[in-house]
Amino acid sequence: MNSPKTNKRLLALDILRGVTIAGMILVNNPGSWGHIYAPLEHAEWIGLTPTDLVFPFFMFIMGISTYISLKKYNFEFSHAAAMKILKRTIVIFIIGMAIGWFSRFCYYWSSAPEDLSFGENLWASVWTFDRMRILGVMQRLALCYGATAIIALTLKHRYIPYLIVTLLLGYFILLVFGNGFAYNETNILSIVDRAILTPAHMYKDNGIDPEGVLSTIPAIAHVLLGFYVGRLMLDGNKSEDRATFLNSQLITLFLVGVILTFSGFLLSYGCPISKKIWSPTFVLVTCGLASSFLALLIWIIDVKGYKKWCIFFESFGVNPLFMYVLGGVLSILFGSISFPWEDGSISIHGFFYKILLTPLFGDTGGSLAYALLFVAINWCIGYQLYKRKIYIKI
Q: Are 206 and 105 in the same domain?
A: yes
Residues 149-157 have a mean pLDDT of 95
Q: Are 327 and 279 in the same domain?
A: no
Per the structure, the complete domain to which residue 185 belongs is given by 58-305
Query: Which residue, of 248, 279, 305, is where some domain finishes?
Result: 305
Q: Are 290 and 331 in the same domain?
A: no
Q: Are 73 and 35 in the same domain?
A: no
Per the domain annotation, does 112 fall within a domain?
A: yes
Check: CB of residue 27 under 8 Å from CB of residue 53: no
Q: Are 227 and 275 in the same domain?
A: yes
Rounded to 10°, the helix 51-70/137-154 angle is: 30
Per the domain annotation, does 1 fall within a domain?
A: no
| DSSP code at position 370 | H
Count of the separate structural domains present in the chain = 2
Q: What is the pLDDT of residues 44-80, one digit of tens each?
A: 999 999 999 999 999 999 999 999 999 888 888 888 8
Check: CB of residue 131 under 8 Å from CB of residue 201: yes
Q: Are 159 and 264 in the same domain?
A: yes
Q: What is the pLDDT of residues 172-226, one digit of tens each?
A: 999 999 999 999 999 999 999 999 999 999 998 999 999 999 999 999 999 999 9
Check: CB of residue 353 under 8 Å from CB of residue 370: yes
Q: Are 22 and 110 in the same domain?
A: no
Strands 338-341, 344-347: pairing kind:
antiparallel
Q: Are 209 and 331 in the same domain?
A: no
Check: CB of residue 49 under 8 Å from CB of residue 41: yes
Q: Are 101 and 130 in the same domain?
A: yes
Q: In angstroms, rounded to a whole number, what is the distance separating the alpha carbons of residues 284 and 262? A: 9
Per the domain annotation, does 3 fall within a domain?
A: no
Decide which of 241 and 313 is more confident: 313
**Secondary structure of 321-367 as H, E, C letters:** HHHHHHHHHHHHHHHHCEEEECCEEEEHHHHHHHHHHHHHHHHHHHH
Q: In angstroms, rounded to a whole number, what is the distance separating the alpha carbons of residues 288 and 254? A: 9
Q: Are 311 and 296 in the same domain?
A: no
The pTM score is 0.92
Q: For residue 248, what pLDDT band results from cuts at 50, 70 and 90?
A: confident
Q: What DSSP element (H or E) covers 295? A: helix 280-297
Q: In angstroms, rounded to a whole number, what is the distance separating the alpha carbons of residues 164 and 323? A: 30
Q: Which residues of 85-103 are buried (b: 16+ CB within 10 A; e: fewer)?
A: beebbeebbebbbebbeeb
Per the domain annotation, does 52 fall within a domain?
A: no
Compute φ and ψ for 45, nearest 5 degrees. -150, -70
- Using the predicted structure, report yes or no on whether residue 5 has a pLDDT greater than 70: no
Q: In angstroms, rounded to a whole number, what is the distance separating the alpha carbons of residues 233 and 246? A: 9
Q: Are 204 and 348 in the same domain?
A: no
Q: What DSSP element (H or E) covers 205? A: none
Beta bridge partners of 346: 339
Q: In angstroms, rounded to a whole number, what is the distance separating the alpha carbons of residues 69 and 86? A: 14
Per the domain annotation, does 49 fall within a domain?
A: no
